[in-house]
Amino acid sequence: MEKIIEIKNLSYSYPDGTAALDNVNLSVFMGDCVGILGPNGAGKTTLLLHLNGILNGNSSVKIGGLTVDEKNLSVIRSKVGLVFQDPDDQLFMPTVFDDVAFGPVNMDMGTGEVQKRVDGALDSVDMKEYKERISHHLSYGEKKRISLATVLSMNPEILVLDEPTGNLDPKHRKEFIKFLSATDITKIIASHDIDMVKSICNKVAIMDKGSIAAFDTKENIFKNKDLLKLHSLY
Amino acid sequence: MQHSYIDKYAGLDSFLHGLDPRAKVIVSFIFIFAVVLSNPTAYLSFALYGLALLILLAVSKVPSSFVFKKTLIVIPFVALVALSIPFMKGKDGLALFTGILIKSYLSIFCMTMLTSTTKFPRLLKAMERMKVPSIFIMIMSFMYRYLFVLIDEFHRMQRARDSRSLGRVGRWDTVKVLSNIIGVLFVRSYERAERVYLSMCSRGFNGEIKTLD
C-alpha cells in the first residue's frame, strides 16, 4: 500500500513559546481513515494545521511523497482538503455558491468546470438547492455540511476534518457520519466523538500533551481500557 | 438571533427589485451627487428629491417603518460631526447646518432604498461587473458576511452579562462592562480574522483575488 502522509519527528512551538507538538511520528496509507482522539489542548488541531502547510514545524511532513514546504504549497493545498471546526471560519463568502467555488476558482479552473464542481460537491452533501443562499442565514448543521462541500469541490486526495460532528443534532450527526463512511477518500478526523470514530475509522491515534501516545488499529485501541482511561477518554 | 439584516426586504417582488442592480447603483450615485452638490438652502429641490424617494419607497413595497428606522440611525452621528458649523464666522451657519442634515438624510435614504431592494451579493456582483477594484468588493463582502456574526457575538455576551448581573447594575457599571465587552469583541474579531485567513489559504488563496467571470 502507498503511504500518503508521512510525519517524522515533527515538533512545533507557538511563537509565544508554548510547545504544542513534541516529536510526532505518523504514517497514513491511502484509503485509511484515522481518528485522532485526545483531551482538550492535546495538539490535535495544531497537528492538522501542519498537514497542508498552514503551520510549518521543521519540514518533516510529506504528503504523497512531497515535502510540505513553500514551493509545494499550492499542489499540497489542492490535495489536502482541510475543514475548520467553526463553520463561520470556513464559510467566508456572501453566498453558498461563492464559498464552494472559492477553491476551484483559486485552482484556475474555467467557469464551466467550476460550475460542475460546485454542483457535484453540493449534491454529495445533499445541499444542491442551497446554492444561492446566503451563508449567515443558514443553520449550524447546514453550515457544517456546506463547509465540507467547500473542500470536496477541490477534489482532494485527503480530507482533514477538525471536529466534524461537534454541536450537530443527532439526526444531522448521523447523516454526516453516513456520508463520511461512504466516501473512500483518505480521512484524518480529529474529534471528541468517540462513537463516530468507532464507526468510521479503521485506525486511531491518541494524542496527549503534544505527542502521539498510541497509534494502532481501532480494535486494539478500544480494547485497551487502561490506555483510554489514562488519556481521559473513558 | 434577533437582528434585522440590511437587505432584509431585498427578496420582495416589485418593479424596483427587478431592475438590473447596475442601473440602481449608477442612479443612486448620480442622485447622491445631485443632492450633495445642490445649494444648502435649495429647500424646494430637497423637497422634490424627498418626494422622488417617497414614490420609490411606495413602489418598492418595502415597509416604510423599516426604512425610516434605518435612516434615522445615522442622523445623530451627522449632527455630532456638524455640530460646530452653526458657530462658524462670516457665514449663515444655521442654514448650512440644516442643509447638511437634510442632504445626509436624503443620501442615506437613497442608499437604504438601494440596499433594501437589492440582495447584497447581487450588488457586489454588479459592482464587480462595473470594474470596481476587487479589493473593495472583497472588503465589502467580508463586512456583509461577518457584521452579523459580530452582532450575534455581542448579543450573546450581553446576555451572559445580564444573566449574571441580577438586574442591579448602576449606570457606571454598565459603561464599565460595556467597554470590557467591546474590548473582548475586538480581540475575538482579530482572532477570527486570522482563522478566516488560514481557511482561505487552505483553499488555495495566495494573496491574489480571483473571480469567476
pLDDT tens, residue by residue, A39-84: 988 999 999 999 999 988 776 899 999 999 888 888 999 999 999 9
CB-CB neighbors (< 8 A) of A108 in chain B: 210
What CA–CA distances, in Å, run from B85 to A99, B36, B183? Answer: 47, 16, 33
Which amino acid is it at B94?
L
Is residue A185, in this structure, part of any structural domain at all? yes
Instruction: Report the gap between the CA of B52 and the closest CA in chain A (Å).
Output: 31
The band of B70, judged by pLDDT with boundaries at 50, 70 and 90, is confident
Is residue A202, in this structure, part of any structural domain at all? yes
| CB atoms A93 and B141 under 8 Å | yes
Domain layout of chain B by residue ranges:
15-120, 133-202
Proportion of chain B above pLDDT 70, given as a percent = 95
The total of structural domains in chain A comes to: 1
How far apart, in whole angstroms, are the C-alpha atoms of residue A144 and residue A19?
30
Read off the CATH number of the domain in which A25 is found: 3.40.50.300
How far apart, in whole angstroms, are the C-alpha atoms of residue B69 and residue B65?
6
Is residue A80, in this structure, part of any structural domain at all? yes
The band of B168, judged by pLDDT with boundaries at 50, 70 and 90, is low
Q: A181 at the B interface (CB within 8 A)? A: no
Instruction: Report the gap between the CA of B62 and the closest CA in chain A (Å).
Output: 20
Q: Is ipTM beyond 0.85? A: yes
Is residue A149, in this structure, part of any structural domain at all? no
Is residue A135, in this structure, part of any structural domain at all? no
* Cβ-count burial A100-131 (b if 16+ within 10 Å, e if not): bbbbbbbbebeeeebbebbeebbebbebeebb
Of A82, A98, A107, the CB nearest to B202: A82
| CB atoms B199 and A84 under 8 Å | yes
**Cβ contact A146:A91 at 8 Å:** yes
How far apart, in whole angstroms, are the C-alpha atoms of residue A234 and residue B64?
59
Of A54, A93, A134, the CB nearest to B202: A54
Portion 96-155 of B in contact with A at CB < 8 A = 119-121, 124, 141-142, 144-146, 148-149
Rounded to the nearest 5°, which phi and psi values hold at A146?
A: -70, -30
CB-CB neighbors (< 8 A) of B196 in chain A: 89, 92
One digit per residue, pLDDT tens: chain A, 234 residues?
A: 789 999 999 999 988 888 899 999 999 999 999 999 999 889 999 999 999 999 887 768 999 999 998 888 889 999 999 999 999 999 999 899 999 999 999 999 999 999 999 999 999 888 999 998 988 889 998 999 999 999 999 999 999 999 999 888 899 899 889 989 988 899 999 999 999 999 999 999 999 999 999 999 999 999 999 999 999 888
Q: Which residue of B has its CA nearest to A55?
A: B198
Query: And the C-alpha cell for A32?
Result: 485509511
Is residue A119, in this structure, part of any structural domain at all? no
What are the contacts of B12-17 at 24+ separation with CB within 8 A?
A: B12/B60, B12/B61, B12/B62, B12/B117, B13/B61, B14/B59, B14/B60, B14/B61, B14/B117, B15/B59, B16/B56, B16/B59, B16/B60, B16/B113, B16/B117, B17/B60, B17/B117, B17/B118
Is residue A118, in this structure, part of any structural domain at all? no
Q: Give residue-wise pLDDT tens across range B82-96.
A: 888 877 766 677 888
Range of the domain at A173: 3-86+155-230
| CB atoms B145 and A135 under 8 Å | yes
Rounded to the nearest 5°, which phi and psi values hold at A180?
A: -65, -40
What residues does A27 pair with on adjacent strands? A6
Of A82, A92, A106, the CB nearest to B210: A106
Query: And the C-alpha cell for A44?
Result: 490535535
| CB atoms A106 and B120 under 8 Å | no
Report the candidate in A184, A118, A113 with the shortest Cα–Cα distance to residue A152. A118
Q: Which position has the higher pLDDT, B170 or B148?
A: B148
Of A54, A78, A134, the CB nearest to B198: A54
Query: And the C-alpha cell for A16?
Result: 509565544
Report the candidate in A198, A195, A200, A166 with the shortest Cα–Cα distance to residue A180. A200
